[in-house]
Homo-oligomer: A and B are copies of this chain.
Amino acid sequence: MAERRLSTHDIAKRAKVSIGTVSNVVNGSTKVREELRVRVVQAMDELGWQPNALARGLRMASSNLIGMIIPDITNPFFPSVVRGAEDVLSLHFHRIILCNTDNSSTKELGAFSDLRSFNPAGFLIIPSVDSGIEPMITQYKKPVVFIDRSPANWKGDSVKANNEEGSYQATKHLIVRGHRRLAIITGPLRSSIGCERLSGFQRACKEAGLQIKSEFQQEAQFTRDSGYLAARNLISMLPRPTGIFASNDLIAAGTLIALREAGLRCPQDVSIVGFDNLDFAELTDPNLTSVHQPAYQMGKCAARLLIERIKQFDRPAEQLVLPTELRTRSSVCTIAVERPLPSRKKAAAQPR
């Protein structure tokens, strides 16, 4: 008895029908007389057959694989996104091939090119910081949805969080609590996210009439180590900032560590607001006030958009911007106002 894999032919033979009929039963594309359908299904069960996804993908010039390209699954923001995507995609019988780029645009290009050879039904991409993938994508003419960040003047589908507004809220929070010497540790300013978060920060500062010293704006990677270094710079300056907006929670974590090492207390000496609201935010010492970003939802929405585009390629593009929300905890304290806010509106000189 030869150790051969089963094929449509075997099912056809056993059910005494043609291979075409088997295919029709499997795909439900064409009407099949009930009697035959039952015979086929029975044969499938008896032989324990399941269709070969590779052959199908080859023939149809499109598999049910989805290429998902992300910077680094190890960065705690991304797993939720991936999970959200998978939860939606699996309902539609799609599977995810996952690739990490480490924010290297070379790896990103390589991954994309590699994945194409599987004729995936589409792509979900969280682009690297200075991604040069956009030309390749538009030329490729297959469904792609960008998540979290998208290339400059990308015209297709995308899902992101409202970074500008989130940062604005975060900064405002510090200002309202009386902080005047504000600092920001930005992400890479080559990335749209980095810029947007900086811009929200600046808007809040400007609105409050605060001038930010240029040394108080430090650029970092979105990593803990990089945040740690930037924070060390920041807290060595005198007078020190009393409030730091960290452009993501990893940076905030690095900042927390730098503070601790320097013997400074958070929030009394330096208050911190983060961004992302990662799980650990409510465990840190002190609990980290952070801007919540709906990572899981972002994954879900992106997957839904992708599915829609797979169904119908020429539909209008959607660029979703999901709301963020400040989660206040104990890493920010209220401080006595050093010099009053230069009041633009009426000066509400409330007696303490």
| A interface list, Cβ under 8 A from B | 5, 50-55, 57-58, 61, 63, 65, 72-74, 76, 78-80, 82-83, 86, 95-100, 113-119, 224, 253, 256-257, 279-280, 282-287
Contact = CB atoms under 8 A, between A and B. Distances in A.
A235 to B, nearest CB: 17
19 contacts: A50-B113, A52-B119, A54-B55, A54-B58, A54-B63, A54-B118, A54-B119, A72-B83, A73-B83, A73-B86, A76-B279, A78-B79, A83-B100, A86-B98, A256-B283, A257-B283, A280-B284, A284-B285, A285-B285
A96 B5 CA distance: 23
Contacts of A54: 54-55, 57-58, 63, 117-119
Contacts of A283: 253, 256-257, 280, 283-285
Contacts of A97: 65, 95-98
B83 A50 contact: no
B284 A5 contact: no
B284 A286 contact: no
Contacts of A73: 73, 79, 82-83, 86
Nearest to A53: B117
Contact of A58 (B58, B96, B284): B58
A287 B261 CA distance: 13
Given A280-B279, A283-B283, A117 B82 contact: no
B280 A280 contact: yes
A83 B74 contact: yes
A344 to B, nearest CB: 38
Nearest to A58: B54
Contact of A51 (B51, B96, B117, B284): B117
A102 to B, nearest CB: 10
A350 to B, nearest CB: 33
B74 A116 contact: no
Nearest to A288: B283
Contacts of A118: 53-54, 65, 95
Given A50-B113, A54-B63, A76-B79, 19 more contacts: A52-B117, A52-B119, A53-B119, A55-B58, A58-B58, A65-B97, A65-B118, A73-B83, A86-B98, A95-B114, A95-B118, A97-B98, A256-B283, A257-B282, A280-B280, A280-B283, A280-B284, A283-B283, A285-B286
Give the residue among A114, A256, A257 with the most B Cβ atoms within 10 A.
A114
A162 to B, nearest CB: 23
Please indicate which of the listed interface residues A61, A83, A86, A115 has the most CB atoms of chain B within 10 Å of its own CB.
A83
A114 B50 CA distance: 9
Nearest to A113: B50
Contact of A98 (B58, B72, B82): B82
Contacts of A100: 83, 86
Contacts of A253: 280, 283
Contact of A95 (B5, B80, B99): B99
A121 to B, nearest CB: 12
Contacts of A63: 54
Contacts of A286: 285
A111 to B, nearest CB: 9
